[in-house]
A and B are shown apart, each in its own frame.
Chain A
Amino acid sequence: MIWLDTIVQGILLGGLYALFATGLSLVFGIMRLVNLAHGDMIVLAAYLILVLVMTLGLSPWIAVLIAAPVMFALGWLLQRVVLNRVLGPDILPPLLVTFGLSIAIQNALLEGFSADSRRIPNPELEGASMALGPINVGVMPMLTFASAIVVIVILNRVIYATPLGRSFRATSDDPVTAGLMGVEPMKVFAVATGLAMVVVTIAALYLGTRANFDPAIGPARLIYAFQAVIIGGLGSLWGTLAGGIIIGVAQTLGAAVNPEWQILSGHIAFLVVLLIRPRGLFPRAYD
């Protein structure tokens, strides 16, 4: 029964990693931009929620509703003012700029909030659990996983059944021809990054309520997110969820054998998948 419990915990942890990864996957799928500051944006959003909770005395569930549009605006501005200027045939400039952004965000947070680790208070649900057949699972991990599924269903709906999503896909295929259709790629990119930041805010809520965070933990979240995206196959959000689950299960299984093996096991699972399926589990048919 301990193994079943471990695997369920791993699957639910995968929901958190999928939330980390979905925004990254969306942005990469549309504009081939790898945002190296993605993990730091999650931490930034977590501090934003924390500030709203501490200063206004809000419940974190209300605070996230305020933080999400703020983060959307921040993502939109970041894309319009900075990232659109560095997109081009050369992939190096956006990598350098987002790497710099990552360092800047970490240091700004360090300056503003110190290196002390913090946690978003969530008294109602902290530690709450429910029986699921023979095992007990935490309510927060369950909510995390459910949120990942809801986010992916909504994003897929936007991408495959709305004019905005049509513009996303067309721009991703061929920005020049999309321009001939009246689509302005730079505006589309800004909306996409804004949406990614909304997902980042949801991820931040669970990151910050489930465990402690400090300004330096962003890059590790980026690596888990990146691994989930690659395992799933570029461009598939359900693939990203599968990737998150694989890393989550590998980590909890590794930890069950020896607590020191948790992180290592996730990385090994990533390498094994890459060895067997170099393009990921659900790659796009063309690229």
Chain B
Amino acid sequence: MLLQTNSLDAGYGRFRALFGIDIEVAAGECIAIIGANGAGKSTLMRSISGVLPNAPGMILHNGEPIGALSAAAILKRGIAMVPEGRKLFPSLSVEENLLIGGQKRRGSGAWSLQTIYDLFPILREKRALPGTSLSGGQQQMVAIGRALMSNPELLLCDEISLGLAPVVIRDIYAALPRIRETGAAVIVVEQDITQALRVADRVYCLMEGRVTLSGTPDTLTRDAIHDAYFGGHA
């Protein structure tokens, strides 16, 4: 298994946000994590990416414990993150934002400045501008490109459609098949269930820090998802 969480508990100080999360990601797979605001989706991404440290054995990468590694060490293992809110560096131009993503790249891979510019051609035009001067959708493209520049085998995308217009979301999700062609596994965190079901091989639904539902999109009924998302009728 490429990535596995093992009864993952996580939180901030005395506040616990995740309770015994078990998820699995196989190489090349696309996983969607859905759930309402505050369900713990972003905490899960922050734990896997090393921003939030955990007990070592709670997260396994190719069977090895990585829960206690720093974000920098996790990136070097091939797990890159597109953080919630994009988080471009205001002092860096578009191209520098991309370059810093590739500063610790692992060997040779599919991604370079050229292939990122081919994926998102508008960025080539705007490469000399400050990253944060772009529109929200273009900034999201920079954030995705910046994470790809490390040639990850697992890409974590935290709320990449948040606050964007539907037409912009479509453009961004259009890049997903190209990313998967490189063999990378992807985890997308989404509040938009329809979008998530369209792109994912498997879906996990989180509610109040627990996995309430998992399965492939075709096996999940509307009602089951509704219950897992908002809480059951019983």
Q: Which residues of A contact B (CB under 8 A)?
A: 163, 166-167, 169-170, 172-174, 176-184, 286
Residues of chain B with a CB closer than 8 A to A182's CB: 72, 75-76, 103-104, 150
Contact A169 B92 (CB under 8 A): yes
- Does B210 belong to the interface (CB within 8 Å)? no
Residues of chain B with a CB closer than 8 A to A180's CB: 49-51, 71, 75, 80-81, 83, 147
Of the A-B pairs whose beta carbons lie under 8 Å apart in the complex, a sample of 15, sorted by A's number, is: A166-B92, A166-B99, A166-B100, A167-B103, A173-B89, A174-B87, A177-B89, A179-B70, A180-B49, A180-B51, A180-B75, A180-B80, A181-B101, A182-B76, A182-B103
Complex formed: what's the CA distance from A166 to B71 in Å? 18
Contact A184 B100 (CB under 8 A): no
Contact A170 B72 (CB under 8 A): no
Contact A167 B70 (CB under 8 A): no
A-B interface, 10 closest residue pairs, ranked by CB to CB distance from nearest = A182-B104, A179-B71, A169-B91, A182-B75, A177-B87, A173-B89, A170-B89, A184-B72, A182-B72, A181-B100
- Does B121 belong to the interface (CB within 8 Å)? no
Residues of chain B with a CB closer than 8 A to A167's CB: 100, 103
Complex: chain B residue closest to A161, CB-CB: B96
Complex: chain B residue closest to A183, CB-CB: B72
**Given A170-B91, A173-B91: A181 touches B146 (CB 8 Å cut-off):** yes
**Given A167-B103, A180-B81: A172 touches B91 (CB 8 Å cut-off):** yes
Residue-wise interface mask of B (60-75) relative to A, using a CB-CB cutoff of 8 A (1 in contact, 0 not): 0000000000111001
For the complex formed, measure the closest distance between the CB of A28 and the CB atoms of chain B, giving whole angstroms. Answer: 15
Most buried by A among B72, B83, B92: B72
Residues of chain A with a CB closer than 8 A to B38's CB: none
Contact A181 B75 (CB under 8 A): yes
- Does B215 belong to the interface (CB within 8 Å)? no
Residues of chain A with a CB closer than 8 A to B71's CB: 176, 179-180
Interface Cβ pair total, 8 Å cutoff? 67
Contact A170 B100 (CB under 8 A): yes
For the complex formed, measure the closest distance between the CB of B77 and the CB atoms of chain A, giving whole angstroms. Answer: 10
Residue-wise interface mask of B (84-120) relative to A, using a CB-CB cutoff of 8 A (1 in contact, 0 not): 0001011110001001110110000000000000000
Residues of chain B with a CB closer than 8 A to A172's CB: 91
Contact B103 A163 (CB under 8 A): yes
Contact A181 B104 (CB under 8 A): yes
Residues of chain A with a CB closer than 8 A to B72's CB: 179, 181-184
Residues of chain A with a CB closer than 8 A to B76's CB: 182
For the complex formed, measure the closest distance between the CB of B158 and the CB atoms of chain A, giving whole angstroms. Answer: 11
Complex formed: what's the CA distance from A177 to B146 in Å? 11
Instruction: Kindly list 15 other residue pairs between chains A and B, CB separation below 8 angstroms, not including A174-B89, A179-B70.
Output: A169-B89, A169-B91, A170-B91, A172-B91, A173-B90, A176-B71, A177-B83, A179-B51, A179-B72, A180-B51, A180-B75, A180-B147, A181-B150, A183-B72, A183-B100
For the complex formed, measure the closest distance between the CB of B129 and the CB atoms of chain A, giving whole angstroms. Answer: 13
Residues of chain A with a CB closer than 8 A to B146's CB: 181
Complex: chain B residue closest to A175, CB-CB: B71
Residues of chain A with a CB closer than 8 A to B81's CB: 180
Which of B51, B75, B80, B92 contacts A170, CB < 8 Å?
A: B92
Residues of chain A with a CB closer than 8 A to B83's CB: 177, 180
Contact B49 A181 (CB under 8 A): no
Residues of chain B with a CB closer than 8 A to A169's CB: 89, 91-92, 96
Residue-wise interface mask of B (135-148) relative to A, using a CB-CB cutoff of 8 A (1 in contact, 0 not): 00000000000110
Complex formed: what's the CA distance from A176 to B75 in Å? 13
Which of A173, A183, A286 contacts B103, CB < 8 Å?
A: A183
Contact B75 A163 (CB under 8 A): no
Complex: chain B residue closest to A177, CB-CB: B87
Complex: chain B residue closest to A187, CB-CB: B72
Complex formed: what's the CA distance from A181 to B92 in Å? 13
For the complex formed, measure the closest distance between the CB of B92 and the CB atoms of chain A, giving whole angstroms. Answer: 6
For the complex formed, measure the closest distance between the CB of A226 and the CB atoms of chain B, giving whole angstroms. Answer: 23
Most buried by B among A163, A166, A180: A180
Residues of chain A with a CB closer than 8 A to B49's CB: 180
For the complex formed, measure the closest distance between the CB of B154 and the CB atoms of chain A, giving whole angstroms. Answer: 13
